[in-house]
Amino acid sequence: MRTMLVTGSHGFLGSHFIHELLVKYPAYQVVAIDREADKVPELLRPLFANKRYVFHQVDIRNSDAVAQVFEHYEINDVIHFAAKTHVGESMRNPGIFAETNVLGTFHVLDCARKQWMDGPFEPKARYADSRFLHISTDQVYGPRDHGFADETMKYDPISPYAASKASSDLMVSGFHESYGMDTVILQAPNVYGPHQQDDKLIPIILQKALTGSVIPVYSGGEDVHDWLYIADFWRAADTMFHLGEAGETYLAGGEAPLKTIDIVERICAALDRHFPGNDSYTKHIRFVEPAGGAKAPHRFAVSAEKLKQQLDFVPETEFGQGIQDTIEWTLSKKRLWEVV
Where are the chain's structural domains?
Answer: 2-192+228-251
Residue with the larger pLDDT of the pair 253 and 124: 124
- The CATH topology of domain 2-192+228-251 is Rossmann fold (3.40.50)
Is 209's pLDDT higher than 60?
yes
* Cβ neighbours of residue 42 closer than 8 Å, sequence gap 6 or more: 195
**For range 42-48, the mean pLDDT:** 92
- Which amino acid is residue 269, in one-letter code? A
Length, in residues, of the chain: 340
What's the count of helices (H) and strands (E) in the chain, helices before strands?
A: 11, 15
Amino acid 335: pLDDT: 53
CB 136 within 8 A of CB 185: yes
Radius of gyration of the chain (CA): 20
CA–CA separation, 169 vs 238, rounded Å? 19
Task: Give the CA angle between residues 183, 185, 191 to the nearest 5°.
Answer: 145
CB 285 within 8 A of CB 215: yes
Helix (H) / strand (E) element for 215: namely: strand 215-218
Residue 260's CB is within 10 A of a number of other CB atoms, namely 19
Q: What does pLDDT average to over the chain?
A: 92
CA separation, residue 197 to residues 13, 50, 193, 225, 317 (Å):
10, 24, 10, 18, 20
CA–CA separation, 205 vs 13, rounded Å? 20
Is 37's pLDDT higher than 50?
yes
